[in-house]
Amino acid sequence: MPEFKHKKVLFSVIKAVVVLAAWIYIAFKLKNSTEAIDIKQYFAQIGIQEILLLATIVIMMIINWLLEAIKWRNLVKNLEKIGLWQSFKAVWAGVTVGTLTPNRIGEFGGRIIFLRKENRTTASGYTLYGDLSQFLVTFIFGLCSFLLLIYVNAKSSEIDSIDNIVIIIGFMSISISSIIYFRLESILKILKKIRFFKKLLTKFDELKNINLHLKLTTLSLSAIRYLVFTTQFYFALIFFGIEISYFDALISISSVYLAATIIPNIPFAELGIRLSFSIIFIGIYTNDIGAILMSSLLIYIINVAIPTLIGGIFMIIRR
């Protein structure tokens, strides 16, 4: 019994440290961002139309994470049935942990603590599978958008050509990712024949329960979610006065997310990478760099900073 209490106390301390570190990270990034000051000044003079647009952006953030919560609940329901609110809290706790890990790969660590201990290892596999579906959608939309961006703006931008090898590698990557996504159980079965992987992958036997219907549902939810947060970014651009068509915004924003997803990054570089690629791709359509930066920062605050802070609270009060 004392040993159990010690483990429980240690686990609580670790959670508190992770949450505190995530909060400090967010505070540091916002405090040292000059765009944050510009946003404050802009908010001081907005009218009713801007307020309604901002409210829409916030509502879309909730829809975005609600779709992710539904997706995760569907994936883990064969292991453990949880309510939508429980899944929502788990997803936001995952954002808190993911903030401290490269490319947010640690999000599963925040989610699985909301499940029973015996289900957490397998749930990690389900979570990573859900991440794979989102990556696949981001990669496909992003690559197609990037190629469209090149084609549409070849004469008016500095980007005037693209090597065919890039296209070939891109579509080969899509094919490989799709095969892994739809044939994961077959790949795991082959890998389990190798002694090195046999014991490790045995813990993920439950992944074979992801049938075609669940795979397609997960992919569909990821696609809908993708359209939600790319449209949300478009509204942020409009909020800060950038005149751009939805089509132009979509292909440039998708290119931003593609670059931010496929390029490895450490936590403290994430925001800088997002801002840099926003300037590169959205800057093709406007010279208002300040508005681009403020739009990107606003999306970061609403979609990442707020869930990180609230998700930390969910982690702390989770018993």
Q: How many domains does the chain have?
A: 1
User: What is the CB neighbour count within 10 angstroms for residue 49?
Assistant: 9
Q: Which domain holds residue 80?
A: 2-317
Q: What is the mean pLDDT of residues 88-92?
A: 92
Q: What is the mean pLDDT of residues 140-162?
A: 70
Give residue 249's pLDDT band: very low, low, confident or very high (50, 70, 90): very high
Say what the pTM is: 0.82
39-53 per-position pLDDT tens digit: 666 666 777 888 899
256-287 per-position pLDDT tens digit: 999 888 887 665 566 777 888 888 899 889 88
